[in-house]
Structure 1
Amino acid sequence: MEDEAQKMVALKKAYAEIILNTAKEAAARVMASEHKALRFQLDLRSTKDESLRVLLRLKQMIDSKTSEAEITSSSQQRRIDELEAQLQEAEDIITDLRSELKQVWSELERVNSNQVKPLDRQITREDASFSESPTPEPILLSRLGSGHEIVPTSGLDNIPVSRGIDHKCCNEMKQSEQLSVSDLDKFTPLTLTLRQ
């Protein structure tokens, strides 16, 4: 009986140790799981914080870029407005200059026409006076005695012509016809001067 009682006590101790060891292992596993869960929670919280910081930084960058874009767009719009105003002013100046140039051309044409009309009248009067002026009289050269004399042909109408020309006059006429080239050269400048 005593042996069986000892066996039962030993068996109970063995079961108690097994249960205790199992409980210890379970407690250790639970604690490890809790540590892991806590670590995961910390990681998750840090990840959330980092994500929030990234989002805030991204929002700041977007806001900064948006503000810069708005400022640039506003500056460009002002520049466009200034250029449009300058273009409009230049177009107005061009229109004024064209109008002034047209007026100047009209004034110039009017002045030219006013100057051409008196000139045409003067030329017409000069042509009329030239057509009315008598034609220049031809000049004849004659030799009387030792010298030469220039006689206009208009004076010949008043000179009586006689058929009985003596031999002396005939000889003088022949001599005048037989003038040398040097004598003609002497008469040429004087004749040209009288004709002018």
Structure 2
Amino acid sequence: MSVCRVLVLISGNGSNLQAIIDHAQPKASFEVVGVISNKTDAYGLVRAREADINCTCVIATPGENRAAYDDRLRAAIDSYQPDLLVLAGFMRILSDDLVTAYQGRMINVHPSLLPKFTGLNTHQRAIDAGEQEHGASVHFVIPQLDAGPVILQAKVPVFEDDSAELLAERVHEQEHAIYPLVVKWFADNRLKMVNNQAYLDGEPLGTGGYAND
């Protein structure tokens, strides 16, 4: 079986990138072949270079519209010939055309138990809503924001005296556990998206399954 070529897109610290790199051991079924960032000062680029992974920066130019940027981004993506695109804190909304081009082989991790709390500031919103549980979701990416079929979720408790920062730390810890696992499922040909539904080993996945139940 050929090794799955994984390309990771980042904008910042790259802690999920590091978790995936750490699981891409010599005998793994996947290899991180490249990292693309939209910011030149993203610390994730340091992590990639320390692991001898090729890096590319695709920086938006003044006045550039989303379609023009995504054309350049797509050219950079295609230069790596990836089998799987992994969004790991890539802080840009992608155009429908770009997402559609890679649909079924682009995944993202979102810091909430989707469909709850799409968008930004999820940790504070969960606290403000009085939630007793919060967490992270890995999902396939579709043109609708944070609406793709959920693959795997992990839950954490929300405590009465929680801050958004403390809650974020617990959520990140779970992200680092479940994201590499989903990458491995895809690389092992166990995970697919068919008709806007995620399937593992031929069985449909729903939002009711959690990694830490």
Q: Same fold (TM over 0.5)?
A: no
Richer in strand (by share): 2
Larger RCO of the pair (alpha carbons < 8 Å, separation 6+): 2
Structure with higher helix content: 1
Which structure has the larger Rg?
A: 1
TM-score bracket, shorter-length normalisation: under 0.3
Q: TM-score, normalised by structure 2?
A: 0.17
What is the TM-score with the length of structure 1 in the denominator?
0.19
